[in-house]
Amino acid sequence: MLLQQIINGLTIGATYALVAVGFSMVYSVLELANFANGAFYVFAPYIVVLLYASMGWGFIPAFLIAVLATGILGAMMDRFILTTIRNHKAQTSSSMVATLGVSTVIINGLIAVFGSATRSLPNAVNIGRIYIGSAIMTGNQLVIIVMSVIIMAVLSIIVYKTKLGSAMRSIAQNQVASRMMGVNVNRIITVTFLIGSASAAIAGTMVAMYYGSVDTTLYTSVSVKTFASAILGGIGSVPGAMLGGVIIGMLETFVAGYWTSAYKDMIAFIIIIAFLIFKPNGLLGHRKLNKV
Amino acid sequence: MKQFLQGWAKNEKWVNLVLFAIAVVYPLLFTRAYLINIGTLCLVNVLVSLSLNVLTGYMGITGLGWAGFFGIGAYTAAILSTKLGWGFLATLLAGAVMTALCGILVGLPTLKLSGRYVAIVTMAFCEICRALETNLDWLTRGSRGIPGIPRLALFGFRFPKWMQYYVILALVILTMFIINRIINSRLGRGIMAVKDDDIAASAMGVNPFRYKVMTFAIATAFAGLAGAFYAHYIGFIDPSNFTFDQSTIFISMTIMGGLGNLMGSVLGAISLTVLPEILRPLLDVRQIVYGVLLIVMMLVRPQGILGGFNLKHIRQQMSVRSGGEKHE
Amino acid sequence: MNEVILRTEHLTQRFGGLCAVHDANIQIHKNEIVGIIGPNGAGKSTLFNDITGMYVPTEGKIYFHDMDITGKKPYEITKLGMARTFQNIRLFPTMTVLENVMLGVHCKTRSNLIDVVLKTKRARQEEEETQKIAEDILKITGLYDFRYNYATSLPYGLQRRLEFSRAMASSPEILLFDEPAAGMNEQETHDLGEFILKLKGMGYTVVLIEHDMKLVMSICEHIYVQDHGECIADGTPEEVKANPSVIEAYLGKDE
């Protein structure tokens, strides 16, 4: 029972982690809560449904196209909407409202095209199941966990080991100074959005596969939980976001498994508030010095 | 635009009077129940948006979970009136006080954090409220909601719809009056100083934390007041009225109207309440158009329709120029 | 010599391994103009931040009129009668010049929420007085004509002057200026010197951190020299100028 809960928690936590990494990257460079992230998370599986289930494509090409399309959508949102708002030197809350607008358009666009009923997504990954003692790990769960680990490793390498990553981190610390040091700030931010929305797309598709279905109501709770994961781990920290995602995923699985599923969401939020009060920089975040 | 603003600033009293007259005459001209209903809902949203503007516009903290506070007011009024039979004057007051207490409870431990974290705290709080509303069955009847919340009534006389409209109108005007008084006082200056630069404010003798808690309490009180009225007006509430989606609508109204400008909140709330109604014939496409308009609005005027305009300052600047002093 | 109104005893401020201020013992006498000089990173601003409550010192005590103010919050210290300006000007950009200065009077007024909502007699009186005090100060500092402009729309030099005005509005005993002449040309610096002397004439005590030697030497009565967190010398301008360790540590570096 315990082992089974851990496996289930880890699976769902891994997907939160994946969305949270992208969210956290955007948040750290712009201090912007990107509400469209949740919409990207449901956008991708719908594309997969369209290409794979309806049009009969292979799963892998459908999946790749969906992730790519979502990534481009995210980059376009930044390039055509958010960059303009930034150039107005407006507060980030205006950008936030714009991302709300984008998410409204995406979600309702999906409803208009696909209808508001739940759509099923046939399981493409049929590799049986693994028995670990009395617990079962399905092929889907294995794929989700392995994929998440691989993608997050890649993202870590991008953020911490490449020139692009160091540009991102420098923008997060000081945008003006980065610009003066020759960093093309707007382009780097756009790329950050591309990566962020692509990782949300991967997570969303994997979760849809896991549950065998996709519907548009998922996006709010996902938005809120990725927020939570990112804060818990420490904004701007890739390993932090992973840790945060896994903890939130585990926590809700455990609360649902051992107590009541009614309060599974609430516990996560109480923990966020507690964390913000006692450890506002998260588990792995950096302390920002309050300089006079 | 500049001339328009100057003209407005010069005749602000008259403009306010005309707007007030329009608000008073509205239910007399448009007697259809549907239109009075829309008017009333507009005013409820105006009240919420005003309260959120206090926090977000004047204090600089983005309130992401405002539906949570709105909901506390609504549930307080609903429970007190259905279970204990309180009259509406008492429940409106109780809704405001209860919400302000919750605001202080949330604010005390968290308002030392930077504003962006407080935004997330309010969001999390909204979700916690909803979880409690859904699960405290003995108190809130869970997801079945609370039906039969008595309509506004005095001495056994139940107010018809149009009278309820005037009640909320009175509440809105009272709220604007109070907020205006606060903003144009030493407290208002303190609030704005903390928003602009809390370190400098602190060096000038303003206790930023105390001001944040005070502002949070004021803002949540008005949100609760709006919620309490809403519960009586609508007669039935359940947790789905107070979701995070509803919160995002509230914050959109406030930001689109313009931060730090009370008339902006009026404009933002009315337009985002009326817009979905106008778009109703578009059916499925309605929400898409709504989203697109939100985006376009932010592209054209990211600071909101009336954001950044301070009529008092404009008037003062005009008085200096017409006074013959030549400084720019 | 007048009584000592501000003094620090063995004041030490460490940030992690870095010791920004070490064992500072400073005494400020009433109605004196005191300069704190030293190369960049010598711990001058940290000293200011400790005194005004922005930082809590690691060790040592700060006394204001023999009252221990160590660890008090900035707003409490301002209320006691100490006001400061910042090295990088910190005005309130969405407020007008007049409102910025009126905020300075904030700590002298008492109206609470009920007063301001009901516009009680106290609220009205205080508001009138506040405005009058602020306008009087603006007339002294020559910013009256700009009173309705937004604070940050002023040119740099005037923004500095506005910061002085705002500090004066809290009617402090001691004014602490952090590099007031930074970014000013020779004429402006000269005017600043005159202005500070005028403040002394009005009864204020002024402490300033400054890099402009000419200004410091010409107006200060007492000078403390900081280097690497240590106070290496203090005395009258003449004494400091003659002090060999000062010449070595500071003036010598400049050649």
pLDDT of residue A289: 45
C88 and B CB contact within 8 Å: no
Low-confidence ranges of chain B (pLDDT < 70): 322-328
Domains within chain B, CATH numbers bracketed: 12-319 (1.10.3470)
Q: What residues contact A15, with CB distance under 8 A and at least 6 apart?
A: A144, A148, A203, A206, A207, A210, A245, A249
- Tokens describing residue A72: 């481009």
B193 and C CB contact within 8 Å: yes
C86 and A CB contact within 8 Å: yes
| A chain contacts of residue C86, beta-carbon cutoff 8 Å | 292
A176 and C CB contact within 8 Å: no
Per-residue pLDDT tens listing for chain A (292 residues): 788 888 889 998 998 998 898 888 888 888 888 889 889 999 999 999 889 888 888 888 999 999 999 999 999 999 999 999 988 877 788 888 899 899 989 998 998 888 888 888 877 766 777 887 788 888 888 888 998 999 889 988 988 888 888 888 888 888 888 888 888 888 999 999 999 999 999 999 988 888 888 888 777 778 878 888 888 888 778 888 888 899 888 888 888 888 777 777 787 788 778 877 887 777 777 655 444 5
pLDDT of residue B326: 42
A34 and B CB contact within 8 Å: no
Q: Do C145 and B316 touch (CB under 8 A)?
A: no
What is the chain C residue with the closest CA to B307? C94
Q: How confident is the model at residue C136 (pLDDT cuts 50, 70, 90)?
A: very high
List the single residue in C92, C102, C167 with the smallest CB-CB distance to B196.
C92
Q: Do A84 and B299 touch (CB under 8 A)?
A: yes
- Tokens describing residue C57: 């010192």
What is the chain B residue with the closest CA to A102? B291
What CA–CA distance (Å, rounded) separates A198 from A74?
A: 8
Work out the burial of residue A289: count CB atoms within 10 Å of its CB; fewer than 13 is exposed, 13-18 middle, 19 or more buried: exposed
Return the partners of chain C (3 or more C-beta pairs < 8 Å).
A, B
List C-alpha distances in Å: C184 to B141, C40, C143, C187, C188: 69, 18, 17, 8, 6
Note which residues in 199-258 of chain B have CB less than 8 A from chain A: 199, 243-245, 248, 251-252, 255-256
Query: In a 3-state reduction of DSSP, which class is residue C60?
Result: strand
Mean pLDDT of C67-84: 91
pLDDT in tens, B86-101: 888 999 999 999 999 9
CATH code of the domain made up of C1-81+172-255: 3.40.50.300
What is the chain C residue with the closest CA to A289? C15
What is the chain B residue with the closest CA to C119? B181
pLDDT of residue C255: 43
| A chain contacts of residue B204, beta-carbon cutoff 8 Å | none
Q: Do C78 and B260 touch (CB under 8 A)?
A: no
C55 and A CB contact within 8 Å: yes
| B chain contacts of residue C99, beta-carbon cutoff 8 Å | 189, 192
* CA–CA min distance C13, chain B (Å): 19
C46 and A CB contact within 8 Å: no
C45 and A CB contact within 8 Å: yes
**Cβ–Cβ under 8 Å, residues C229 and C249:** no
Bridge partners of C178, per DSSP, are C209
List the single residue in C92, C119, C146 with the smallest CB-CB distance to B327.
C146
Q: Do A263 and B284 touch (CB under 8 A)?
A: no
Q: Do B294 and A31 touch (CB under 8 A)?
A: no
Q: What residues contact A174, with CB distance under 8 A and at least 6 apart?
A: none
Give me the total of CB pairs closer than 8 Å, taking one residue from chain B and one from chain C. 113
| B chain contacts of residue C78, beta-carbon cutoff 8 Å | 203-205
Kind plus residue range of the DSSP H or E element containing B80: helix B66-83
A113 and B CB contact within 8 Å: no
Bridge partners of A119, per DSSP, are A214
| C chain contacts of residue A292, beta-carbon cutoff 8 Å | 45, 49, 54-55, 86
* CA–CA min distance A291, chain C (Å): 9
What is the chain C residue with the closest CA to B186? C106
**Cβ–Cβ under 8 Å, residues B62 and A93:** yes
What CA–CA distance (Å, rounded) separates C214 from C218?
A: 6
Q: Where are the domains of chain C?
A: 1-81+172-255, 91-170
Return the partners of chain B (3 or more C-beta pairs < 8 Å).
A, C
What CA–CA distance (Å, rounded) separates C8 from C20?
A: 15
pLDDT of residue C41: 80
Bridge partners of C59, per DSSP, are C12
pLDDT in tens, C197-250: 999 999 999 999 988 888 999 999 999 988 888 888 888 888 888 888 887 776
Q: Do B117 and A90 touch (CB under 8 A)?
A: no
**Cβ–Cβ under 8 Å, residues B112 and B123:** no
A230 and B CB contact within 8 Å: no
Query: ipTM of this predicted complex?
Result: 0.89
CB atoms within 10 A of CB C235: 15
Q: Do C52 and B203 touch (CB under 8 A)?
A: yes
CA proximity to C166, closest of C205, C202, C137, C131: C137
Bridge partners of C64, per DSSP, are C6, C67
What is the chain B residue with the closest CA to C77? B205
With left for phi above 0 and alpha for psi between -120 and 50, is residue C60 left, alpha or beta?
left
| C chain contacts of residue A287, beta-carbon cutoff 8 Å | none
Give me the total of CB pairs closer than 8 Å, taking one residue from chain A and one from chain B. 136
| B chain contacts of residue A105, beta-carbon cutoff 8 Å | 288, 291-292, 295
Q: How confident is the model at residue C254 (pLDDT cuts 50, 70, 90)?
A: very low
| B chain contacts of residue C94, beta-carbon cutoff 8 Å | 192, 195-196, 260, 310
Mutation target for B interface from A97, A221, A286: give the one with most B CBs within 10 A: A97
- Taken as a whole, chain C contains a residue count of 255
What CA–CA distance (Å, rounded) separates A153 from A252?
A: 25
B163 and A CB contact within 8 Å: no
Q: Do A85 and B245 touch (CB under 8 A)?
A: no
pLDDT of residue A286: 63
